[in-house]
A and B are shown apart, each in its own frame.
Chain A
Amino acid sequence: MTGNSAAPHFGPDELDLWLAGTPSPEMRNHVDECCTCLELVRAEEALAAQLAALPLYAPKADLADRVMASVYIPDPFAIRSLQAARRRLLASPKAVAIAATIALVLLGSMTASAAWTLANRETLVAAGNWLVGEAARWAWVGLRSAALNLTEQPWFVGFRSLVETPGRLALASAAMSLMYVSGILALRRLLAVPPRQVAHANG
């Protein structure tokens, strides 16, 4: 065995063949004669074995649950219904023809609608303006009716006299604010989380 075999030393391809366990007879003969390549293939074999023996690491046990919490799973019933509908739709030439006709009618009507809209934009704008004007008129009539109805109420005169002067108005406002704040405080007290029970030194 020498380090000066006539054949060239092993390159990456020869080493791959060696590691795959499929070296040619010439390669085997070369290794028998060449110390350099023998040492190389032994080192490569050892390295490959060490790498292959590395353990698999385990993630935390709840990985699957954490993943599944973020994964959308399609509804099997909906998928089956869709597949059944598709099968029914494509069951016979007649069914296909009906489906194609419906699709054509829908497509045609949508196209016609879009074309009419584009050709009659002025008419659509005028109709829109008329609708907005009518809506505003009816809103004003409704507001006036509500105001008239309010002033006709028997309690309205008394209420008006209560806030007739600035002093009374301020007093009424203060009273209402006080009632509002009291209400808020009472609500907070009702909705507060009860304090946790703690152990006391005296038992």
Chain B
Amino acid sequence: MPSRVDLAPKTDQEIVVLARAGEEAAYRELIRRYERPLFSLLFRMVRDRELAEDLAQETFVKALNAIESYRPEFKFSSWIFKIANNAAIDHLRRRELDTLSLEGSPQAETPEAIEATALQIGGRQESPLAEVEARELGGQIEAAIAQLRPEYRSCILLRHVEGRAYEEIAEILNLPLGTVKTYIHRARNELRQALAHLRE
């Protein structure tokens, strides 16, 4: 069975071939590659850590159990982001959430629950001061993103946080290209207005 060292340089398509051949390590590699981007997108969409965990798990289980139906001519990332976005939008249609807390779920009532639902920011290593500043600034941006309509939110996150191309976003969200451009433009306008005080 190939180790992670063997799988790391392989493309998503090559990993999928191995997963289809029954290599458990290939499944784990796909999860490793996408757990943070997917979880970040889902958290920013639903604004609840526990719920984002559940939706991320649901997304991976759905995608990996249907890996035979994945068509390699499309990007794997588009396919799995599409499943995640559908899960988030389905949830948001069922339930309205209105506040964002980086310190924990809005539903958390006890200190233990708040701590359990607080986010762990991963990836970059920063000095404590820079971390605090980034956290304050990031918190305001996160709050502004949270005020966007879910459709705008998906578009702006995929475009400017995930760095996806317009065509890929259109494919992920199953929207016409022109609509995606309009949504992103409107979302940027709204964010610019919401964050105007930071520039002054």
Contact = CB atoms under 8 A, between A and B. Distances in A.
A147 interface: no
A43 to B, nearest CB: 5
B134 A64 contact: no
Contacts of A56: 36-37, 39-40, 121-123
B176 interface: no
Range of interface residues on chain A? 35 or more
Interface string A158-194: 0000000000000000000000000000000000000
B61 A76 contact: no
B97 interface: no
Given A44-B192, A55-B138, A57-B122, A76 B36 contact: no
A71 B43 contact: no
B149 interface: no
Given A52-B160, A73-B24, A57 B65 contact: no
A123 to B, nearest CB: 45
A71 B65 contact: yes
A80 B23 CA distance: 12
B170 interface: no
B64 A71 contact: yes
B153 to A, nearest CB: 12
A125 interface: no
A180 B39 CA distance: 59
B122 A58 contact: yes
A200 interface: no
Interface residues on B, range: 35 or more
Contacts of B89: none
Interface centre among A13, A44, A55, A64, by most chain B C-beta atoms within 10 angstroms, is A55
A57 B120 CA distance: 6
Contacts of B57: 63, 66-67, 70
A21 to B, nearest CB: 13
B35 interface: yes
A67 B156 CA distance: 28
Given A43-B192, A67-B57, A59 B24 contact: no
B43 A57 contact: yes
Contacts of B142: 54
Interface string B108-150: 0000000000011111100000000010011001100000000
A15 B185 contact: yes
Given A73-B27, A75-B22, A58 B192 contact: no
20 contacts: A47-B160, A47-B188, A51-B191, A53-B134, A55-B121, A56-B39, A56-B40, A57-B120, A57-B121, A58-B123, A59-B36, A59-B53, A64-B32, A67-B57, A68-B28, A71-B27, A73-B22, A73-B27, A79-B20, A80-B21
Given A44-B188, A59-B39, A73-B22, 20 more contacts: A43-B199, A47-B191, A50-B195, A51-B161, A52-B161, A54-B40, A54-B138, A55-B40, A55-B138, A56-B122, A59-B56, A63-B56, A63-B60, A67-B61, A67-B64, A68-B28, A68-B31, A74-B20, A74-B21, A78-B22
